[in-house]
Amino acid sequence: MNSTNMTPSPELVRKQLRLILDSDEIRNSQILAKFLKFVVLEKLAEHEEEIKEYTIGVKALGRSSDFNPQLDAIVRIHAGRLRRILLHYYLTNGKNDPVVITIPKGTYIPNFEFPDSEAEDTSSPVPDLREAVDLANNNQINHVKHPKPILVICPFSNLSPDNSKDYFVTGIAEQISFDLARFQNIFVIPYYLSSAYGSGVNDLKELKKEAGADYVLTGSVRFNEEMIRLNLQLLLSENGKIAWSETYVRQFTARNILDIQEEIADQAVNTIADDYGIIIKLDKGKSHPFAKTELLNVQEAIYQYFEYTQHYDTGKFDQTLKALEQAIKLEPDNALAHAVLANMYLDVYAIHIEEDVALLEKALNLAQTAVELDENCQHAQKALAKIFLFAGKKDQSLEKIELCISLNPKAAGIMSAMGLCLICLGEFAKGFNTLFKSMNMSPIIPASTKLGFALFYFNTKKFSESLTWMQRLSSLQSPFLTLLNLAVHGKVDGHNSQMLSESEQPLGNHAYSIISRTIYNTDLKSEIIDGLVQAGLEII
């Protein structure tokens, strides 16, 4: 980023610091805010000798006095995050700010400069584009490590002669760009950085070359009287082939046009980037065969987790667990890998007949590590919400559910899991609304949604409807699901001990423990136990 050689005054630097600390980029990360504030104020106080890894770790990040930077890379990890956040800030909200604060690589001492508007070349976004991608992927695009897939969003076109609604065309592109950027599984280059490119094959090849782009999203909008037609296409940058396309047609008025914008954006971003979205499937298709877990890199192991959780395929459980355990050894600073492994251990905890508290402790340690690496890691907050649920700590679980959803309320898969947790905690109305919202945002209905609705309708004594949702879970196997299925049949069919198989009868010895691990609400637990008794299961 170009700048003049003049140095801003301390007063101007402090004002700029406040602007950055108040920005969305930093406001949601107290760790990065403390890091930035410490190094800036220390330099202004002419204490540059204090701006080193140990003092940042102890004074800014709260490490104890025996902190050893050689053994703990936390300062280096957060420094990399802070550099990327500052870059994004100055490319977006802070592009017209009076002072530029940077932390050059190789040091933690910040630079303060005036932007040089005259020297800056705005004719092409390529330098910023390349720098943004390089930093966001930790310089791994051409390395052995497999980075997140890179999605470029090109400006959308208004195909109508009437340009009075250009605001909608720009608005829907901005909305989709912003919402996609909140998903952890991809790196998004927003449309304002790719404005020099089109969607022709040569443009796509140039994006592939310059930015390492894997996918390009293009869109066009046509207005016809009171109808909007939005066409979206996801293109493969290497050859221009259409990987996915969708047309959204809506009737609009002046009052509902923004609601339509949000509704379309919700559905589009989940179809593209959710845990079960098209990019995850496409990118995993480029990877090694599922069974060869010893060949999987970290990103592929994460993809394998998402594939497993869509239907909780027990045949893929051991392979997925092994791949993720290897992943955190390969990349001990990968927050998402730690978070999804924590969720895997929670699945192990849930499917065991005998309760194993050590599994909860393993999951807790992994989730806490993930949060320490990235406090905005949504899957880590999801794991913590489930851990506190299993531990019977309702208030802590509700707090984590709220935080988890707030990190990305557009992620249907996460919303589904949190809706299920709310149902298990006895927050039935809120849980139902969360499940319903997640289902409206995505064409895929994950297992957590099906189980959540089965429990909701069981609680409202609509047992036939509960059975319908349970039947959609027929491929899943776990002690809890077996017991819930029996309880539903007990309520629908009445007492019939003949329906019990030899494998189901011993579950009566552990039924209350298994149910209590997952269901916090006392009334729902009692109702399930009553259903089991009606089914003929002897509860001990």
Domain coordinates of the chain in residue numbers? 10-120, 141-273
pLDDT at 127 over 70: no
Confidence (pLDDT) at 379: 95
Summarize pLDDT for 59-91 with one digit per residue, the tens. Answer: 998 888 888 887 777 788 788 778 878 887 887
Q: How confident is the model at residue 140 (pLDDT cuts 50, 70, 90)?
A: very low
Looking at per-residue confidence, does 46 or 203 come out higher?
Answer: 46
Q: What is the DSSP string of 479-502?
A: HHHHHHHHHHHHHHH---GGG--T
pLDDT at 488 over 90: yes
**Which helix (H) or strand (E) segment is 471 a member of?**
helix 463-471
Map residue 243 onto helix, strand or coil.
Answer: strand
Confidence (pLDDT) at 356: 86
**Average pLDDT of the residues of the chain:** 83
Confidence (pLDDT) at 428: 97
pLDDT at 235 over 80: yes
CA distance 238 to 191: 19
pLDDT at 456 over 70: yes
- Token output for 430: 């809120």
Q: How confident is the model at residue 403 (pLDDT cuts 50, 70, 90)?
A: very high
CATH architecture of the domain covering 141-273: 3-Layer(aba) Sandwich (3.40)
Instruction: Determine which of 116-125, 220-229, 247-256 has the lowest per-residue pLDDT on average.
Output: 116-125
**The residue type at 241:** K
Summarize pLDDT for 257-298 with one digit per residue, the tens. Answer: 888 888 999 999 999 999 888 988 887 656 544 334 444 678
pTM: 0.72
Instruction: Determine which of 14-18, 28-32, 474-478 has the lowest per-residue pLDDT on average.
Output: 474-478
Phi and psi at residue 54, to the nearest 5°: -65, -50
Q: Parallel, antiparallel, or unpaired: how do β-strands 187-189 and 150-153 relate?
A: parallel
Judge whether 206 and 197 are in contact, CB under 8 Å: yes
pLDDT at 192 over 70: no
Confidence (pLDDT) at 110: 94
Q: How confident is the model at residue 119 (pLDDT cuts 50, 70, 90)?
A: very low
- Token output for 507: 């579950």
